[in-house]
Structure 1
């Protein structure tokens, strides 16, 4: 890719050549009916200067959702929402909000589409084990070298194999979105009239760079400008901007993100040489191996939510998995250091395992939290590791919800009380040691069954195993000349109407300027804006999809 005078000048050779596009139906058990889902792949090769990479990485992929009773051509839709994922997030994470939005718009007489984008680097993921539909088969495939459909897992890619990812920064990311849009909707006037550009979390920042970008190398011509590919913008627990400042707390301190004080040139040289990791990861939870566990846990919950789980004992023991288990399930520092009691010492249902991995009352990382219910079936204790409930360290990185953990190893079977059963007459109403209720019906919005379906049933992953380090370092170094010159049309960020939807308990709670007139989804955590169910406990329409559908009908 050539960088000239601050404009994005590469083109996508042969993006619509014969055999350069596939579209495959996706079977779904979603209760939201009347929505058709397909997975679309479009060949948009990287320039040869990117270096050796798997052939799959010369394709871009997205999940396409549309009304089942309307024509298949995207150009016939009233509106198309195209969504950029956040950090460590894949297209599958948008499944619930996409379905809910398309269905809600159809109820209002509008035919819209929702395109959930996968980043190019997701080409490295192998979904074979998850796609088997069986939890034990998936574990055997990813961890024991057993074949599925004649295929053997090739292992997780190492830094030395990922030289081509050293260039996957904000420039390539917005170029990929532009090339995909141009391939799928060749008429720029249609794009300008019908497409709404947006995203979740980091996706709002990517949308900001897209809006300000120039794609033909001539800033005087503006039909190619990013803002002229969109009729409006939407931001899901984020803002449309070119700064990471609003997303503080989005990553833990122990990721391998390089010190941006080094400067753009030094960071780029480190990525090119492999001295710096080309993908973002952390020792526990946030790496390809452990993120694969989320899909495997989803399989168990999807198959038998209330059945007793054997996953903790069936998984092989290694340092990575053991450290992750301790981080998630340790009651306090002593339990984390000793490893006792271990998660396999507790009797848990498949639903309780999944809830413990992603619920806001369990997982101590705010950007991974959903509100899917609470533990049930036995005594519960405060989880004081890595931060005590109610402490100053609790918000931000760890989230505002009090954390809890089962308290009787080798005792009762701990079950999972789904979001819509919290507050029922048989709810024990668990409380923290200081008397604070752990949760209530107003703070639970996501159905654990549908979360499991999004994790295990999608052809494109819910998570992102290989997030390009350069994408974050570029944005963190937004003041450097190399990145500043990508913002060719800064007024593009305000050239179109914007819908901002915030999670009431999310990363930006109380921090977004009032002039943005945000829609606030009360009780929602950061991921809930994507995963919330259409049927809410308060009996009102789900606010995120309702707002998106309304915006799609009339963004101006």
Structure 2
């Protein structure tokens, strides 16, 4: 990458929407709203990024100034009122684990557009948590501006500066000490403070706001509803609730498929006070950061992969060859691309030996046919261009789908047979998008039992839209530094220090609810909720409820956003 190109990219990137923490705080204002211009097929929806100055309390401890701002993505009908208070309804969405506001892009646009077709002007606000103030997406933004993902690789791994600075490295446990104090109490307080700032009229909030979220966001929403904020019950801030492949419940038992708490959390066998002492001292990790799959480096990798698929979807990927062989990246790539345990152990064949387009790499990382972890799965199509085989890692497919184990393995690994390219050094593996599965003349790839890996019924997400959400949003799709305390608080919800927040236990059932579930998602695998309006989208995986395209293969509107828009229009 030439120095001239890097400098040019930096100049152009400076004109892009600025994410929290990416630049100096504006002087003399506590609210900044910046229009976001992204090439989306849903042109009837305006998007902006809103930043509101709501400082953290002193008890949190020293922290970057950028973290005194709360941020959200605001989606609204282009023909609707410019003032949010004048909208017919405002939907407030809490993200899931390791998730940022950018993950809501497709469902937000689709829902606002669907409501407008029914004559209603609604807004969708996708919230970002405080911890995303630590993310450094300068390299991805500069790569987007230059239309070259090498700019991002050079920034994160080759010490090439963009936007006037050099990447300082991924933050260590000793650099995020303040996150030891950011748990469920601060998270729901942030939502309340933001709502009061943006919509100060309590009666209006109670009449117009729908509170909800995706995955872990449903649990956070339940805590918000059951809490009290200086005499103001949380449930009175909402007219209703919406659950995106989750349940509005303060108990994590409503979910399945989440990473095992014993594997990633320091609370196994510890009570609340011992857990807090471990977090504050730094003995326990203050963010979820594993040697493989989960952590800031892996989350940043998803952004780079999304960028490559966004700017050069059909190009031969050189991502794997360009990335350094760090223990984290090497193990992650082995986990995601190994055909079986022997390949994982030996590293052969390696992903670096296969010829893949950039879209195929993204599909391999997040597609339900190859991504082995259910909570990271979407349904964007399947590989094309060469022979494939069953992916027998981390479990052989015969074992993973054994009827005696299916309730357990489906929750963690998803219900589908996994597939993977089978010919290293051979043909160029491309990606067949969700709406090209089953097209005339399209090959049908089958697992060893004869079942197609992908059908028109199982594929629902557009790979291009997925790439755009990962690469182009000013607030990220992922959360690089997810606070461990938020997770341990929820896993220790029965402890008096946490349960005391649930002042109004009737709150999470006090308003109408819609449960919007993926037929192949996490909640269905664990049993569907017994209360509220229920919508199950067949074939949808955990992330599909956020990422599914507006136009589905059955030529009908996308069911999750259509049902959510209808609920928003009629709930009282």
Give the TM bin, normalised by the shorter chain. Answer: over 0.9
Aligned partners of 1:254 and 1:283 also within 8 Å: no
Task: Give how far 1:253 is off.
Answer: 6.5
Task: Give how far 1:249 is off.
Answer: 1.7
What is aligned with 2:84?
74
Deviates more, 1:74-83 or 1:384-393: 384-393
Structure 1 residue 269 and structure 2 residue 269: aligned? no
Aligned partners of 2:60 and 2:182 also within 8 Å: no
Per-residue CA distance 1:481-515 (angstroms, 9 max, x = gap): 11111000111111110011100000011502344
What is aligned with 1:177?
191
Deviates more, 1:353-362 or 1:281-290: 281-290
Aligned partners of 2:129 and 2:187 also within 8 Å: yes
What is aligned with 1:397?
412
Aligned partners of 2:287 and 2:481 also within 8 Å: yes
Task: Give how far 1:266 is off.
Answer: 0.4
Of the three residues 222, 235, 256, the one matched with 2:243 is 235
Aligned partners of 1:260 and 1:473 also within 8 Å: no
What is aligned with 2:134?
124
What is aligned with 1:314?
322
Helix, strand or coil at the partner of 2:506: helix
What is aligned with 2:490?
475
Mapped to 2, the partners of 1:277 and 1:554 lie a distance apart of 45
CA separation of 1:188/1:18 partners in 2, compared to 1, >3 Å: closer, same or farther?
farther
Runs of 4+ in 1 over 4 A off after TM superposition: 252-255
CA separation of 1:262/1:253 partners in 2, compared to 1, >3 Å: closer, same or farther?
closer
What is aligned with 2:49?
39
Q: How does 1:187-336 map to 2 (within 5 A)?
A: 187-216=201-230, 221=231, 224-252=232-260, 255-336=263-344
Aligned partners of 2:95 and 2:216 also within 8 Å: yes
Mapped to 1, the partners of 2:421 and 2:539 lie a distance apart of 23
What is aligned with 1:541?
557
Aligned partners of 1:255 and 1:282 also within 8 Å: no
Helix, strand or coil at the partner of 2:328: helix
Structure 1 residue 550 and structure 2 residue 566: aligned? yes
Mapped to 2, the partners of 1:87 and 1:279 lie a distance apart of 11
Structure 1, gaps ≥5 residues long = 1-15
Mapped to 2, the partners of 1:41 and 1:354 lie a distance apart of 30
Of the three residues 528, 532, 536, the one matched with 1:516 is 532
Of the three residues 353, 360, 363, the one matched with 1:352 is 360
Mapped to 2, the partners of 1:253 and 1:109 lie a distance apart of 45
Mapped to 1, the partners of 2:168 and 2:530 lie a distance apart of 50
Q: How does 1:362-511 map to 2 (within 5 A)?
A: 362-389=370-397, 390-391=401-402, 392=405, 394-509=409-524, 511=527
Mapped to 1, the partners of 2:268 and 2:77 lie a distance apart of 45
When the two chains are superposed, the root-mean-square deviation of aligned CA atoms in Å is 1.4
Per-residue CA distance 1:46-92 (angstroms, 9 max, x = gap): 11121111111111000000011233211111100000000000000
Per-residue CA distance 1:122-146 (angstroms, 9 max, x = gap): 0000111111113100011111111
Aligned partners of 2:262 and 2:268 also within 8 Å: no
What is aligned with 1:3?
none
Structure 2, gaps ≥5 residues long = 1-25
Aligned partners of 1:167 and 1:470 also within 8 Å: yes
Per-residue CA distance 1:203-224 (angstroms, 9 max, x = gap): 00000000011010xxxx4xx1
Deviates more, 1:143-152 or 1:440-449: 143-152
Mapped to 1, the partners of 2:438 and 2:299 lie a distance apart of 31
Task: Give how far 1:293 is off.
Answer: 1.0
Aligned partners of 2:369 and 2:417 also within 8 Å: yes
What is aligned with 2:16?
none
Aligned partners of 1:255 and 1:283 also within 8 Å: no
Mapped to 1, the partners of 2:250 and 2:53 lie a distance apart of 28
Mapped to 1, the partners of 2:421 and 2:102 lie a distance apart of 30
What is aligned with 2:18?
none
Task: Give how far 1:432 is off.
Answer: 1.0
Mapped to 1, the partners of 2:86 and 2:250 lie a distance apart of 32
Aligned partners of 1:388 and 1:394 also within 8 Å: no
Aligned partners of 1:255 and 1:280 also within 8 Å: no
Structure 1 residue 107 and structure 2 residue 123: aligned? no
Deviates more, 1:227-236 or 1:508-517: 508-517
CA separation of 1:254/1:136 partners in 2, compared to 1, >3 Å: closer, same or farther?
farther
Mapped to 1, the partners of 2:102 and 2:531 lie a distance apart of 32
Of the three residues 104, 108, 127, the one matched with 1:98 is 108
Of the three residues 58, 73, 80, the one matched with 2:68 is 58
Helix, strand or coil at the partner of 2:264: coil
Aligned partners of 2:247 and 2:255 also within 8 Å: no
Aligned partners of 1:387 and 1:394 also within 8 Å: no
Mapped to 2, the partners of 1:84 and 1:68 lie a distance apart of 24
**TM-score when normalising by structure 1:** 0.94
Mapped to 2, the partners of 1:202 and 1:464 lie a distance apart of 13
Mapped to 2, the partners of 1:197 and 1:514 lie a distance apart of 19
Mapped to 1, the partners of 2:221 and 2:261 lie a distance apart of 25
CA separation of 1:317/1:254 partners in 2, compared to 1, >3 Å: closer, same or farther?
farther
